[in-house]
Amino acid sequence: MYKDIFYWMYFHLKTMQRQRYAPFFNALLCMIAFQGANIFSIIFIIGAYKDLKLSKDSALLIGLILFVLIIMVNYLFVYRDRLKIAEIREQYTEQEQRKSKRFFSYYIFSSLLLFVAAVICG
């Protein structure tokens, strides 16, 4: 699932960047940004309805811990195998590519909707 998301982010960045300046790393950064925004949007929505009151220090500590965890998980499970992921995804059949690209589009769209919902709730 996340490997498909990583590949399509890489694919779009590779086609957008004419110089091909580190599209794998940029795809990883985009993926981390979307995952972080999703987690913080969910926490924000839950906090808005449950009236969670966190001090600035504890919110910062929780945010840093989640950020480090997201980076570690993405590095271990996705970025480390980036060349193999790209090679496998490029050999997908047309139907598998369409399904994978549709899932990627749903992920991006639902992430943006979740972020907008968090902004509206706040």
Determine what percent of the chain falls in helix, strand and coil, rounding each to the nearest 5: 85, 0, 15
**Tens digit of each residue's pLDDT (9 = 90 or more) over 4-24:** 888 888 888 888 766 567 888
- Residues 34-76 have pLDDT tens digits of 888 888 888 777 777 777 776 767 777 887 888 899 899 989 9
Q: How far apart are CA 21 and CA 16, in angstroms?
A: 10
Tell me the C-alpha distance between 110 and 5, whole Å: 13
Task: Write out the residue range of the structural domain in which residue 74 sits.
Answer: 2-121
Count of structural domains, the chain: 1
pTM given for the model: 0.78
